[in-house]
Structure 1
Amino acid sequence: MPWLKLKLRTNQDKAQVLADALEEWGAISVTLQDAGDEPVFDTYWEQSPLWSQVQVTGLFPEHTDTDDILSRARECLGLVENPPHEIDLLGDEDWAHSWMAHYKPLQVGKDLWVVPSWCTPPVPDAVNIILDPGLAFGTGDHPTTSLCLEWLAEQTLTNKIILDYGCGSGILSIAALKLGANQAYAVDIDPQSLEVTRRNALHNGIHTGLNVMLPSELPADLQTDIVIANILFGTLIELAPDIKARVRPGGWLVLSGLLGNDQAVEVRPHYEPPFVLNARERQKWVLLAGRKPG
C-alpha cells in the first residue's frame, strides 16, 4: 500500500506542537530530526529536540488531503504561508514493521487496556479494546485519548448513552460500550473514520448499541448522558452551542484536544456556564470535564 511522507521544517520551539498535531490529523507515525538525518519512525516523544531547525516527518495514508494538512500546519505555526515542506509518495513496501513494533498493549485505566490486534491481551479478564493503530486518529497512546479513556474507566456507565464527537478510530465509543454503556453515537466528518469505527467495533465483538454517522445525521433532539468531544481546539469553540445542547440535564461533558492551559482558558467561556469544568493535564494536553446542572 502506498503512503505519503510529508516533511515539514520548523523552529525548535514549534516542533513538538507540530509533531503532536500531525498525529492528531491522522499520521500513523511521526519523527523529529535534524534535516540531514534519515527518518526512524516513532510515535513517542520524551524530550524536546536539540536542533534549532527541526524536520518533522509524518507518514500518512496515500489519499490524505495534503493541502488540508498544510493549511492546518500553517495555522498551527502562526504562519502566513505554508511552512517549508516536501511530499513524497512511498512505494508499496511493507512499512508496517517500521511502526508496529512501537505499539504494545497499553493500560489506560483500572482494568481497561488497549491491545493492538497482533498482540495477546496481557490481562485476559480485563476490558480489552482490540485496535489496529494507524487507521484513524485514536490509538490510546496520545494524551488526549488516554485522558478520555481514563475518565470513562472511572465512571459508572451502565445503561448510559454516550455521544462521541469526532470518533476517529471509534476507541472511545467502543470503550464506553465495553464498560457497560447502553448506546454510543460515534460521529465524525471523515467517512473513512466512520468505516474504521465500524470495523473496530466488529473486531471487539460489538454488534448492537453502536450508532455510527455523520454529524448531520444525528437526531435533532438527541441528548445523551455523556458527550465526549476529543477534537481540535478551534472546532470545540465553533461547535460549542451544539455540543452543549447535546448534554441532557444532569449529564456530563468532556472536552479534550486542548494543548496547554492557554487553549483551555480560551475554550472555557464557550461552555461555562452552564458547566463548571475541572481540568486534568498530561504532557501539556488538557481535558476539561463537568456536569450540566439538572
Structure 2
Amino acid sequence: MPFLELSLRCRAADETRLETALEDLGALSVSLLDAADAENEKAILEPGVGELPLWPEITLLALFPEGTHEALLLHALEAYDPKLDLSSASFRVVEDQDWERAWMDQFAPMRFGERTWIVPWNLETPPEAEDGAIVRLDPGLAFGSGTHPTTALCLQWLDSLDLAGKTVLDFGCGSGILALAALKLGAANAVGVDNDPQALAASLDNAERNGVGERLQVFAPDDEPAARYPVVVANILASALDALAELLAARVAPGGGIALSGILHGQETALIERYATWFDGLEAVRLDDWMRITGRRRA
C-alpha cells in the first residue's frame, strides 16, 4: 500500500508545534532530518537530556495514509497554527516496503579506535573484528548507531581508556551504545541516564542482545542516584552541557575522566571555560563540524 509523504522545512523553534500538529492530523510517522543535509538520512543525533537534538533548520517527513487530501491537510495545518510557515511544503507518493530492512541495509560494521566495533545485529562479524570489543546494535532504533560524529568521537575516547573493573556513567544514553561499548571494553558496570523512556528501554534491550544486561542500570534524570564515577561520558547538546555542568562535574570522581560531545565547532571555547572550574587538562578534538572535550577531575 502506498503512502502520501509530506516534506516540510521549519525552524528548530517551530518543530515541536509542527510535529504535534502533524500527529494530531493523522501522521503515521514523523522523521526529522537536517535541512542543510536532507539527502543524508543518517544525519540523526542521539536524543539529548532535557531537549531534542535539533539543527537550526529541519526537514520533517510525515507519512499519511493513501488518499489523504493534500490541500485539506495544508488547510488543517494552517488552521491548527496560523503562525506556521507552510511555503516549503511538498508531497510525493511513496510505495510500501520493508522499512526496517531498508533502514538496516544502509549500515555496515564500523570500527572506532583500535578495538571497538559496532556491528548491526543482522550482519556477520567481520573476521578483522573477531578479537575486538564488539557491540551488536539494532540500527532500526532511531537513538544513535555510531554513524554521527558526536557518537564516533565518544567511542574513540572510550576505546583509548583502560576501563578494566571500572563503572562508567553514560549521561544521555540514547541507544546505550556508549555504555555498551564501555562494558565490552572491560568496564565492570555501566549506568545510563536519559529523559526518554523509549531510550531507556532501547538501552536495556541492546544490553540483553549483547549479553551484558545484568551489568547495565538505567535511570531517568530525576531517579538517578547521586554517585561518583571514574569515567563519565555525556553526548548531549552544548546548551545542556552548560546547564548541567555542576551536576556532571559532581558525578566524576577525583582524578576521573570526562568526555563531553554534541558540541558544534565554535561552541567549545565557552564550555572549556565553564568546566575549567572543576577539570584540568581540558582539550577539544574536532570531527567534521563537531567537537569533543575531555578533561580530568581535579582532586
Shorter chain as normaliser: what TM range?
0.7 to 0.9
- The answer to which structure, 1 or 2, has the higher relative contact order (CA under 8 A, 6+ apart) is 2
Structure 2 residue identity aligned to 1:153: D
Structure 1 residue 61: Cα displacement: 10
Distance in 2 between the 1:131 and 1:4 partners?
30
Aligned residues between the structures? 247
Q: Which runs of 5+ in 1 are unaligned?
A: 19-26, 46-54, 63-80
2:117 to 107, 113, 122: 113
1:43-82 paired onto structure 2 within 5 Å: 43=42, 57=59
Q: What's the CA shift for 1:32?
A: 6.0
| TM-score for the superposition, normalised by structure 2 | 0.72
Are 1:156 and 2:158 an aligned pair? no
The CA deviation at 1:225 is 0.4
> 2: CA distance between counterparts of 1:107 and 1:91?
34
Ranges in structure 2 where 5+ consecutive residues have no aligned partner: 16-29, 45-56, 65-82
Aligned with 1:129: secondary structure? strand
1:129 aligned partner, one-letter code = V
Give the Å deviation of 1:4: 11
Q: What amino acid sits opposite 1:229 in the alignment?
A: A
The whole-number CA distance in structure 1 between the counterparts of 2:220 and 2:178 is: 16
Give the drift of 1:191. 0.2
Other structure's SS at 1:208 match = helix
Residue 114 (structure 1) shift: 0.3
Residue 148 of structure 2 corresponds to residue 142 of structure 1: yes
Given the superposition, is the C-alpha separation of residues 82 and 187 from structure 1 closer, same or farther in structure 2, using an over 3 Å criterion? farther
Partner Cα separation in structure 2 for residue 257 and residue 61 of structure 1? 29
Q: CA deviation at 1:229?
A: 0.5
Matches within 5 A, 1:1-294: 7-9=7-9, 30=33, 42-43=41-42, 57=59, 84=86, 93-122=97-126, 123-220=129-226, 222-260=227-265, 262-276=266-280, 277-294=282-299
Give the SS at the match of 1:96.
Answer: helix
Larger Rg: 2
What is the root-mean-square deviation of aligned Cα atoms in Å? 3.5
Partner Cα separation in structure 2 for residue 267 and residue 168 of structure 1: 22
Q: CA deviation at 1:137?
A: 2.2
Under a length normalisation based on structure 1, what TM-score does the superposition of the two structures give? Answer: 0.73
Residues 49-92 of structure 1 deviation map (CA, whole Å, 9 limit, x = unaligned):
xxxxxx96456899xxxxxxxxxxxxxxxxxx766565999897
Q: Which amino acid aligns with 2:286?
A: E
> 2:47 maps to what in 1?
none
Counterpart-to-counterpart distance in 2, 1:87 and 1:214: 38
- Please give the alpha-carbon distance, in whole angstroms, between the structure 1 residues aligned to 2:90 and 2:228: 43
Partner of 2:230: helix, strand, or coil?
strand
**Residue 70 of structure 2: aligned partner:** none
1:150-194 CA-to-partner distances (Å, cap 9, x unmatched) read 110110001111111000000000010111111111000000000
CA 1:101–1:180: 2 relative to 1, 3 Å: same
- Say which SS state the counterpart of residue 99 (structure 2) adopts: coil
CA distance in 2, matches of 1:60, 1:192: 20
Q: Secondary structure at the match of 2:261?
A: strand
Distance in 2 separating the partners of 1:173 and 1:114: 13
2:147 is paired with a residue of what secondary structure?
coil
Distance 1:213 1:42, change over 3 A: same
How far, CA to CA, are the matches of 1:183 and 1:105 in structure 2? 25
- 1:263 offset after TM fit, Å? 1.0
Q: Is the 8 A contact 1:29 1:41 kept in 2?
A: no
Instruction: Calculate percent identity across the aligned residue pairs.
Output: 40
Cα 1:32–1:161 change in 2 (3 A) is same
Amino acid at match of 1:194: L
Equivalent residues of 2:9, 2:35 under 8 A apart: no
SS of alignment partner, residue 98 of structure 1: helix
